[in-house]
Amino acid sequence: MRHSFWKKLTDLEFLEEFKSRSELTEEEALELGKKVNGSLQERYEESS
């Protein structure tokens, strides 16, 4: 359990640092996330 806690903490710290340097607006980030999710869904459906 300790390992997963520290892994999650490290991941969150990375995301905070990444976010602080990002020039994307929140709206642009959400749109990018939707496109990535859609692309992943298409790949998953093609491989199934």
Query: Radius of gyration (Cα) for the chain, nearest Å?
Result: 15
* 1-38 tens-digit pLDDT: 788 889 899 989 988 888 888 898 889 989 999 999 99
d(CA 48, CA 36): 18
Copy the structure tokens of residue 25. Answer: 């607006």
Residue 30 lies in a domain: yes
Instruction: Look at residue 31 and tell me if it is in a domain.
Output: yes
Determine, yes or no, domain membership for 8. no
User: How far apart (Å, rounded) are the C-alpha atoms in residues 39 and 47?
Assistant: 13
Nearest CA to 25 out of 33, 35, 17 is that of 33
Round to whole Å and give the CA distance between 30 and 41. 16
Q: Considering the domain boundaries, does residue 2 fall inside one?
A: no
The tally of domains found in the chain comes to: 1
Residue 33, domain member (yes or no): yes
- Asked whether residue 40 is domain-assigned, the answer is yes
Residue 29 maps to a domain:
yes
Is residue 46, in this structure, part of any structural domain at all?
yes
Domain that holds residue 32: 24-48
Answer yes or no: pTM beyond 0.75. no
